[in-house]
Structure 1
Amino acid sequence: MGWLKRLFGQEKPQQAQVNPSPAQSTTESIPPERMGLNGEYDQSGLAKRVALAFDEDSSLTDIDTLYVAQTGSTVVLKGKVPSQQILSQMVSVAQKVNGATAVDTNQVTIG
């Protein structure tokens, strides 16, 4: 099971992108942290796009003890990871997602 499916209960939409363009039909601009997988408004858009980025990175497998959330434009990782190296890789991937201004790992334990 992938990150997106486990965390948000959805399969990857066919046109889903980590850094999509805003939906064409939108008259108001969508803040980058609220942009969904297809460019639509989504309250959890940043967290979903980070989960998608984790799914698309072949060096990261779904770690079922770690969760992705967001507080505004901050990506929040919480739970447990096997090593500092994996956590560092995840932070690096999350920081590259459009709209992420910070990655909070204060709620992550290693081991």
Structure 2
Amino acid sequence: MGWLQRLFGMNKPQNAQVNPTPQAAAATESVPPERLGLNGEYDQSGLAKRVALAFDEDQSLTDIDTLYVAQTGSTVVLKGKVPSQDILQKMVSVARNVQGATDVTTDQVSIG
């Protein structure tokens, strides 16, 4: 089971992207980067879903069923437990490269 399936109960949508092009709902509206969904649509949890997709697409990161991804505005929040500091550092690096992520917090993550 992958990150998207475990955290959001969804399979990877067709054409889903970690950093999609925004789809404006109207000519005058724009979607904030942290609210961009997997296909460029507005999604309240868009950043967290795109981080989960980025984790799924990184071959060195397997789904760690004791770690969860959330977001507070443009901050990615990692919670739970990871096997090692190296894996956590890799996850933070991947999350920071997702468009719209301004910070990644790990104060709710334990190692071991």
Q: Smaller-chain TM-score range? A: over 0.9
Instruction: Note the residue ranges of structure 2 that are not aligned, 5 or more in a row.
Output: none
Residue by residue over 1:23-58, the C-alpha shift from the partner in whole angstroms, topping out at 9 and shown as x without a partner, is 154431000000000000000000000000000000
Q: Distance in 2 between matches of 1:109 and 1:86?
A: 12
1:6 partnered with 2:12: no
Q: Distance in 2 between matches of 1:21 and 1:6?
A: 25
Name the residue aligned to 2:47. 46
Q: Which amino acid aligns with 1:42?
A: D
Name the residue aligned to 2:30. 29
Stretch moving more, 73-82 or 17-26: 17-26
Q: Distance in 2 between matches of 1:12 and 1:75?
A: 20
Q: Distance in 2 between matches of 1:26 and 1:17?
A: 21
TM-score norm. by structure 2 comes to 0.97
Q: Which amino acid aligns with 1:7?
A: L
Contact 2:24 2:30 in 1 (8 A): no
Q: Spell out the pairing of 1:1-111 with structure 2 (5 A cutoff).
A: 1-23=1-23, 25-27=25-27, 28-111=29-112
Q: Report how many residues are paired.
A: 111
Q: Distance in 2 between matches of 1:21 and 1:5?
A: 23
Instruction: Note the residue ranges of structure 1 that are not aligned, 5 or more in a row.
Output: none
Stretch moving more, 67-76 or 15-24: 15-24
Identity of aligned residues (%): 79
